[in-house]
């Protein structure tokens, strides 16, 4: 025996999401069945619209409804700094911090030969073009400290430096509030190397 088709289809769709197996998908599908009809219709509409209404900003690569995106259009931002991130979600973290007022560039990935991601697959070319056509004097590279992130940071740095543009990266060290006792040795090593004068 199988579930009626309408609910089987919803279960199947939920199962395509990461970390959701058959049991959880079934639970979510039955929960959805019991939700108010308007909420489920809104859910369906939001999914149908998602990819239709969003595009990548032709300047910075961020996801946006309007091209160029709100940040690229904002003349009040510091036009001399570009912060390079891996994905649109990362921009959110910096905007919530509230201390950065420059521009962004979203690579939408990092170099990863193992996964077949090469220079042409991420937004590096558009970053170079952008630097040639603008007054940017500092590029801050803010990629995750995975092996792929490190390699991509080095690659971009070597590409940009010859043009006389300052290239920086985020400081590595202990997270605020963390215990030295539990810090891994690589983090501790970076914290010592990058120590600052009081």
Q: Which of 22, 27, 134, 158 binds its own copies (CB under 8 A)?
A: 27
Q: Are 156 and 141 in contact (CB under 8 A)?
A: yes
144 binds its own copies (CB under 8 A): no
CB of 192 to its own copies, least distance (A): 32
**Residue given tokens 């004068």 in the structure block:** 197
CB of 27 to its own copies, least distance (A): 7
Q: Are 134 and 119 in contact (CB under 8 A)?
A: no
174 binds its own copies (CB under 8 A): no
Q: How far apart are CA 106 and CA 110, in angstroms?
A: 10
65 binds its own copies (CB under 8 A): yes
Q: Which of 61, 88, 149, 173 binds its own copies (CB under 8 A)?
A: 88
117 binds its own copies (CB under 8 A): no
- Strand-pairing partners, residue 81, are 138
Q: How far apart are CA 110 and CA 171, in angstroms?
A: 19
Q: How far apart are CA 114 and CA 148, in angstroms?
A: 10
96 binds its own copies (CB under 8 A): yes
Residue 146: closest CA among 99, 87, 70: 87
Q: Give whichever of 16 and 195 is closer to its own copies, judged by the CB atom.
A: 16
Q: Which of 72, 82, 83, 91 binds its own copies (CB under 8 A)?
A: 91
Q: Give whichever of 77 and 190 is closer to its own copies, judged by the CB atom.
A: 77
User: Residues interacting with its own copies, by CB under 8 A?
Assistant: 1, 3-7, 9-10, 12-13, 16-18, 26-33, 35, 37, 39-54, 63-65, 87-89, 91-92, 95-96
């Amino acid at each position: 025996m199988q579930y009626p088709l309408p609910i089987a289809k919803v279960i199947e769709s939920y199962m395509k999401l990461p970390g959701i197996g058959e049991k959880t998908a079934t639970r979510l599908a039955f929960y959805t069945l019991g939700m108010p009809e308007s909420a489920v219709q809104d859910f369906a509409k939001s999914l149908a619209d998602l990819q239709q209404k969003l595009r990548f900003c032709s300047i910075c690569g961020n996801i946006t409804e309007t091209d160029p995106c709100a940040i690229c259009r904002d003349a009040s931002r510091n036009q001399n700094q570009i912060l390079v991130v891996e994905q649109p979600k990362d921009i959110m973290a910096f905007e919530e911090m509230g201390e950065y007022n420059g521009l962004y560039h979203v690579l939408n990935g990092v170099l990863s030969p193992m996964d077949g991601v090469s220079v042409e697959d991420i937004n590096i070319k558009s970053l170079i073009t952008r630097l040639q056509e603008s007054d940017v004097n500092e590029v801050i590279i803010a990629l995750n400290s995975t092996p792929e992130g490190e390699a991509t940071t080095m690659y971009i740095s070597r590409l940009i430096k010859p043009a006389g543009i300052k290239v920086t990266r985020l400081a590595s060290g202990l997270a605020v509030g963390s215990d030295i006792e539990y810090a891994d040795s690589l983090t501790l090593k970076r914290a010592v190397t990058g120590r600052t004068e009081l």
